Structures are given as structure tokens and as C-alpha cells.
Amino acid sequence: MSDEAFFTLHRDLPREGPGTAEDVHWALSVIDRPHYVIDAGCGPGADTETLAEALPEARIDAVDQVAHFVAEARALTERFGPRVTVRVGDMAALHGPADLIWCAGAVYFLGLEAALAQWRPVLAPGGAVAFSEAVFLTDPPGRAARDFWALYPAMGSEAALQARIAAAGYRTLASRRIVGPAWSAYYEPLAARIARLRPGADAELAAVLDEAESEIALWRAARGDVAYSLCVVTPR
């Protein structure tokens, strides 16, 4: 997939995964008020902005490996001044001590176990990781959910996710499902952009549009059977 075709589709989309500002507020409501927050895999920065608005005294460091997303997130958050930084970096090599590592829809890039192990020394005492990860709501998963699963091989049930968190030496402070509108908030703008770009797309762009369209179709078929589980966890 060429970067140019990918960003023709993804440029200036509000988010790169399911979620809403309300999810950020909920996660903040279950922990002590953080002073230093890292947004790991911040994408275009929707959650960085929400964190900065919700925590007017906190320092926030947003990190993404893709310069294009970093530029978008910077533009979105520059009004907060130097307490909010957005940089190109690897979320596997974070520096703390952080009171909260927020990671929406990105933990699977590292793998949950690797992420939780790498972030343990980055957390301040009493610090927490809030992450969202795709899960099945039906066990065993139905056909549509299994097709969606092919996109995310690490996906399992909510119980399996909780078992992985415990096995990684963390305790879940709270968790909840991200369903319905939060997924639409990601997929509907993407679907509208695909429809707009389809006429006149060259072969490279058409391939990118086909891939995204097929992911949206898989999600629409499986939407009752899949969710993101938003988990706030802390080292045991």
C-alpha cells in the first residue's frame, strides 16, 4: 500500500479508530487526576485534544510513528501551548514517570503483553494504562465476527482479555465496552470519504479504497458481535 494513497483516504479524518470524547472522560473518572499523560499512538489527535481540555493543568505528550498524523495532531492542539507536545516517536520506547498512558486502538500494534511489560517502568507509582482492544461479544464468535477477527488475529472474548491483563501482572480498575456510535464515528466518515474518492481513483488508490471498504463491510456485518473493550489497568 503506498503512503500517498493511504493518506489520500485518511487525511484529516477526525480519528483513526473507534472512540469518543466521552470514553476519555470515563477513563479519567476512574483514576486520580493525572499530572503527566502520554497519548500513545495518538493518530490525528482527537483524544489528545480531549485530554488537554479535560486536564487544563496536566502535561500531555502525544506520540505517533507517522509524521503525517503528528502534524495533524499538532495543528489540533497547538492552542494549548507548550504543556501539550506531539512528536514522532515509538510508543515502545516511552519515558515517564507517567500518571496515565492513554492508548486508543493502538495497543495491538505492540501486542498487549509487550505493551504492558514495556510500560510498567514508565508508569509513576499508582499510575494507570487506559487502552482499547477489539473483543468478541459472543463466545464462540459467529461467522461475521470470525471474518472480522481475520483482521485482528489477537482478538478474543472479554474474559480472555481480562485473563491476559491479569497474566501480565496488572489489575483492571474498570472496563467498559465501546460499541455503536463510537465505531460509527470512525467508519462513517471513512465510508463517506471512500464514496467521494472512488470516481477517478487510480489503481493504487482503488486498492486502498477496496481494502477499507471491505473492513467496513466486515464491521457492518459483525457490529452486534464485536466491540472495543476500554480497560483502565494498573500494575499489581
Contact predicate 101/123, CB 8 Å = yes
Q: Which of 29, 17, 13, 14 is nearest to 132 (CA)?
A: 17
Residue closer to ligand SAM by CB (options 91, 123) is: 91
Compute the least distance from the CB of residue 199 to ligand SAM, in Å: 27
Residue closer to ligand SAM by CB (options 28, 66) is: 66
Residue closer to ligand SAM by CB (options 67, 166) is: 67
Residue closer to ligand SAM by CB (options 36, 228) is: 228
Q: Which of 54, 30, 28, 40 is nearest to 172 (CA)?
A: 30
Q: Rg for the chain (alpha carbons), in Å?
A: 18
Contact predicate 145/222, CB 8 Å = yes
C-alpha cell at 22: 466521552
Contact predicate 185/19, CB 8 Å = yes
Residue closer to ligand SAM by CB (options 19, 141) is: 19
Residue closer to ligand SAM by CB (options 43, 141) is: 43
Compute the least distance from the CB of residue 94 to ligand SAM, in Å: 9
Compute the least distance from the CB of residue 111 to ligand SAM, in Å: 11
Q: Which of 2, 34, 15, 5 is nearest to 130 (CA)?
A: 34
Compute the least distance from the CB of residue 140 to ligand SAM, in Å: 26
List contacts with ligand SAM (CB under 6 A): 15-17, 19, 41-43, 46-47, 63-66, 69, 90-92, 104-106, 109
Contact predicate 119/101, CB 8 Å = yes
Output the residue with the shortest Cβ distance to ligand SAM: 43
**CB neighbour list of residue 83: distance below 8 Å, 6 or more residues apart:** 52, 58, 59, 60
Tell me whether strands 123-136 and 226-235 are parallel, antiparallel or unpaired.
antiparallel
How far apart CA 195 and CA 197 sit, in angstroms, is: 6
